[in-house]
Structure 1
Amino acid sequence: MDMNMLSPYIRVAWDSIVEPPFIISERVLYDYELMYVKEGEVEVKIEDQTFRGVPGDLFLFKPRQPHSIRLLNGKRLRQPHIHFDLFYRTDSPEVKVSFKPLKAMTQEERRSFREDVTPLLDLPLPNHIRLHQPIIIEKLLFDIIHEQERKFPYHDIAAKGLFIQLWIQLLREVHWLRNPHLQSKQELLDRVKQYLSHHTDHEITLDELARLANLSKFYLCRLFKQAYGMTPIQYHVTVRLEKAKQMIQFTDLPLSRIAEMLGFQSIYAFSRAFRKLEDVPPSYYRKKN
């Protein structure tokens, strides 16, 4: 799924408080729902799995996915939640929240189902997430609810922007849950990343970075790629070329001088790096200016 195409539609945004006894019998939704457990405990059944939700937990219900909800321990449940489409459709404003099981739906109602695109993500999202940093998700949910309730001018655009922040934070949570070792090494990885960003005048080797991090270069390379999606050397080349693009566009320095200042062995190596990463020669950016 191309995240650059994300254009969410917020259908419902409520800060719901329900008192026991409270049960939502099995139903399927046309759209997606995010339900955050702020207070209380809840039993959630999704397809053939049963989950126990406690404060700080987040549930993601997907289109066509049978689920039911039941309060536990006789306590009230506070559940800020939103219903949404990940991609706006012309019928998005007309679709309602469903409380029906699939077998009770008409053929006309079934046409409202959204396609579940979450399996297309690099990290498919689970139904139940025990959040590492619940306060961030919680604040974004309440900000979306606030926008929907106040309905100030452009509230729908504001809610869309907030949702994109929430969705990215959710993807990060899943990434960290599946790579817990990155959490303990994050400060070290950030230090390596800053070192690469601040030393753009020469090529850096993995041996140099391994000494800085006090890790083997193979382990460091694997950690860095898991955290940032590229190796340290690939990241360093990217940073140097970004700086090169600025210098090409906003100075009159010869390309050979810029290549030298950024530690490339020759103008040919400089041009080769540009063509490999950008698919254009360095002179392309001077022409743009």
Structure 2
Amino acid sequence: MNMNALSPYVRVAWDSIIDPPFIISERVIFDYELLYVKEGDIKVTVEDQVYYGIPGDIFLFKPMQAHSIELMNNKRLHQPHIHFDLFYQPDSPSVKVSYKPLKAMSEQERGAFREDVTPFMDLPLPNHIRLNRPIVIEKLIFDIIFELERKFPYHDIAAKGLFIQLWIQLLREIHWQNNAHLLSKWEQLDRVKNYLSHHTDHEITLDELSDLANLSKYYLCRLFKEAYGMTPIQYHVAIRLEKAKQMIQFTNLPLSHIAEKLGFQSIYAFSRAFRKVEKVPPSFYRKKS
């Protein structure tokens, strides 16, 4: 699924407080719902899978996914929650929130179900997430609720922007949970990345970076590629070429001088790197008068 095409529609956003005893019997919904547990303990059943939620947890209910909610330990539940479509559709504003089981729905109502696109995501989100940094998610949820309640000018666009930030935070949360080994080495990786970004005037060796990170060359390359999608040397070449493109476009410096300033051994090495990465020669970016 192309996340660049994400265009969410936030249907409703409510800040609900529920006193015990209380049960939401099994139901299905037309859209997606994010439920954040700010206070209380809950038992959530999703398609016969049971989860226990505590403050700081978040639940994602998906279209046509049977689920029920039960308050636990005689505690009240404070549950800000949001109903949304991940992609705006012409009928998005007219679709309502569902409180019915599937068997109680009419054929017309069943036609309102959104397609669940989460299985096609690079990083599918589970139904239950125990957040490492709940305060970030919590603030975004309450900001969305505030926008939809106050209805200031352009509140719907503001809510959409905030929701995209929220969705990104959830994806990052799952990414870090799935890659705890990267998170534990993030300080070293960030140190290497910053070093590469601030030393674009010469070539850098893996031995140099290995000493900087206090990691073996092999382990550093593997971690860096997992984190950023390329090796440290590939990243360094990429940012040097990006800087070169800016200099080619916005200065009148000769290409040979730009190559020298960015630490390439010759104009030929510079051109070769450009063609390999950009698929065009450096002169392609020079403004034509």
TM range (shorter): over 0.9
Cα 1:240–1:95 change in 2 (3 A) is: same
CA positional deviation for 1:43: 0.4
Provide Cα deviations, 1:154-185, integer angstroms capped at 9, x if missing partner.
01111111111111111110001011122221
Question: One-letter code of the match for 1:186?
Answer: W
Distance in 1 of aligned mates of 2:148 and 2:269: 54
Distance in 1 of aligned mates of 2:223 and 2:109: 47
Distance in 1 of aligned mates of 2:20 and 2:233: 57
Question: One-letter code of the match for 1:199?
Answer: H
Which is further off, 142-151 or 241-250? 241-250
Distance in 2 of aligned mates of 1:274 and 1:79: 53
Q: Give the alignment's TM-score, normalised by structure 1.
A: 0.96
CA positional deviation for 1:218: 1.1
Distance in 2 of aligned mates of 1:32 and 1:232: 39
Aligned counterpart, 2:28:
28
Question: One-letter code of the match for 1:213?
Answer: A
Aligned counterpart, 1:116:
116
1:77-116 pair list within 5 angstroms: 77-116=77-116
1:129-208 pair list within 5 angstroms: 129-208=129-208
CA positional deviation for 1:222: 1.4
Distance in 2 of aligned mates of 1:22 and 1:173: 30
Q: Give the alignment's TM-score, normalised by structure 2.
A: 0.96
Contact 1:249–1:288 (8 Å) recurs in 2? no
Count of aligned pairs between the two proteins: 289
Distance in 2 of aligned mates of 1:249 and 1:77: 58
CA positional deviation for 1:288: 6.8
Distance in 2 of aligned mates of 1:99 and 1:73: 24
Distance in 2 of aligned mates of 1:144 and 1:13: 7
Contact 1:144–1:159 (8 Å) recurs in 2? yes
CA positional deviation for 1:239: 1.0
Q: Secondary structure at the match of 1:124?
A: coil
Distance in 1 of aligned mates of 2:135 and 2:235: 31
Structure 2 unaligned segments of length 5 or more: list them.
none
CA positional deviation for 1:110: 1.5
Distance in 2 of aligned mates of 1:97 and 1:7: 19
CA positional deviation for 1:131: 0.4
Question: One-letter code of the match for 1:24?
Answer: I
Structure 1 unaligned segments of length 5 or more: list them.
none
Distance in 1 of aligned mates of 2:75 and 2:96: 29
Q: Which runs of 4+ in 1 moved over 3 A?
A: none
Q: Secondary structure at the match of 2:80?
A: strand
CA positional deviation for 1:204: 1.6
Aligned: 1:17 with 2:48? no
Q: Secondary structure at the match of 1:234?
A: helix
Aligned counterpart, 2:62:
62
CA positional deviation for 1:272: 2.9
Q: Secondary structure at the match of 1:287?
A: coil
Distance in 1 of aligned mates of 2:117 and 2:270: 40
Provide Cα deviations, 1:193-228, integer angstroms capped at 9, x if missing partner.
100001111222222211111111111111112222
Aligned counterpart, 2:275:
275
Provide Cα deviations, 1:51-99, integer angstroms capped at 9, x if missing partner.
0000000111111111111000111100111010111011000001111
Question: One-letter code of the match for 1:178?
Answer: N
CA positional deviation for 1:26: 0.9
Provide Cα deviations, 1:76-129, integer angstroms capped at 9, x if missing partner.
100111010111011000001111122222221111111111112221111111
